Amino acid sequence: MMDAARPFGRTGWKVSEIGFGAWAIGGSWGEVSESDARDALFAALEAGTTFIDTADVYGDGRSERIIREVLREWRGPRPIVATKAGRRLAPHVAEGYSRENLAAFVDRSRANLGVDTLDLVQLHCPPTGVYYRPEVFEALDGLVAAGKIRHYGVSVEKVEEALKAIEYPGVASVQIIYNLFRQRPQELFFREAQARQVGVIVRVPLASGLLTGKLRRDSRFAADDHRHFNRHGEAFDVGETFAGVPYEVAIDAVEELRALVPRDTTMAAFALRWILMADAVSVVIPGAKNRSQALANAMAGDLPPLSVETMRAARSSCAMCWAASNHFPECNRPAPL
């Protein structure tokens, strides 16, 4: 049972260190049955998770609707539910982030989630130009004033976008990729986020499953799993699949990491604990497709802190990934310990 909670920026919320990433229970990860999806979410809630991350496009609303159904039955503490908007735009261009479109996306998520007021809406990895359009953030302020959303934030691809976004005083949170293979956020961005009391949500913490240690060189994925169809960024940003690290390189790094995982601990829990070593992180949101994954991930919050020696060794085991990354090489450089 997790009991550690962290403040979520300046919202006044306290959230569990381990949240629940609800992409896989929506779609794009191969078949996940409705009953497995519900079990996974219930298991996370029972283990003490109080933060759920979803998006309007995950299974075209399936993820949001499953969350609504589960929370209707859930009798425990109400979790914070963060959703995202913007990716329904086709074409996905900065001009699409208009007041009218944002209001329509928010109304659809309110209906899907069955609430009057959304806890947190994040712009869903918008084109970089959006961060230079103050009117987008004014539109979000308007939705807060109208009582349709409590807070808003951004989900970003690049550290530079994160740094620009937090210049807007209304931005309550930033969601960013940060894991053993992607360490750059711990430099300037984490410092700035802490200074401005911005909540930091860490996504893709297991590098799409690689950092569980279960994947092999010859692992195969279903045709409707992004690890098959977005291997080289064919459908969306390559960073969202295996954190943008070439598969073979990452498999070698995982082999090196095995020696660092304490006995009685899974590599997944180790990888999540590594992320929680950063104080700037408010919540890490591993995805889970079933009850056992959700429970295993929730347990990571109970592990003791990692030693300085382990942190150092983990850094050197992953150095080859930073060098080989397909995803903005500058995003993967580690900070000095």
Ligand X SMILES: NC(=O)c1ccc[n+]([C@@H]2O[C@H](COP(=O)([O-])OP(=O)(O)OC[C@H]3O[C@@H](n4cnc5c(N)ncnc54)[C@H](OP(=O)(O)O)[C@@H]3O)[C@@H](O)[C@H]2O)c1
Distance in Å, CB of 188 to ligand X, minimum: 21
Cα three-residue angle 176-179-185, rounded to 5 degrees: 50
Asked if residues 296 and 268 have their Cβ atoms less than 8 Å apart, the reply is yes
Q: Taking the CA of residue 282 as centre, how many other CA atoms within 13 Å lie in the half-sphere pointing to its CB? A: 26
Residue found under tokens 């970003």: 156
Name the pairing type of β-strands 14-16 and 20-21. unpaired
Site for ligand X in 264-303 (CB under 6 A): 268, 285-289, 293, 296-297
Site for ligand X in 210-229 (CB under 6 A): 212, 214
Distance in Å, CB of 60 to ligand X, minimum: 15
What amino acid occupies position 264?
Answer: D
Q: Which is nearer to ligand X, 250 or 288 (CB)?
A: 288
Residue found under tokens 């479109």: 101
Distance in Å, CB of 173 to ligand X, minimum: 12
Q: Which of 17, 53, 56, 161 binds ligand X (CB under 6 A)?
A: 53
Q: Does 83 bind ligand X (CB under 6 A)?
A: no
The pair of three-digit structure tokens given for residue 311, joined into one six-digit string: 């942190």
Task: Provide the 3-class DSSP secondary structure of residue 265.
Answer: coil
Name the pairing type of β-strands 14-16 and 5-7. antiparallel
Distance in Å, CB of 21 to ligand X, minimum: 2
Q: Is 132 a residue of the active site? A: no
Site for ligand X in 303-322 (CB under 6 A): none
CA dist 321 and 17 (Å) reads 26
Q: Which of 6, 65, 110, 124 binds ligand X (CB under 6 A)?
A: 124
Cite the active site residues.
Answer: 58
Q: Which residues sit at the interface with ligand X, rule CB under 6 A? A: 21-24, 29, 53, 84, 124-125, 155, 175, 203-209, 212, 214, 240, 268, 285-289, 293, 296-297
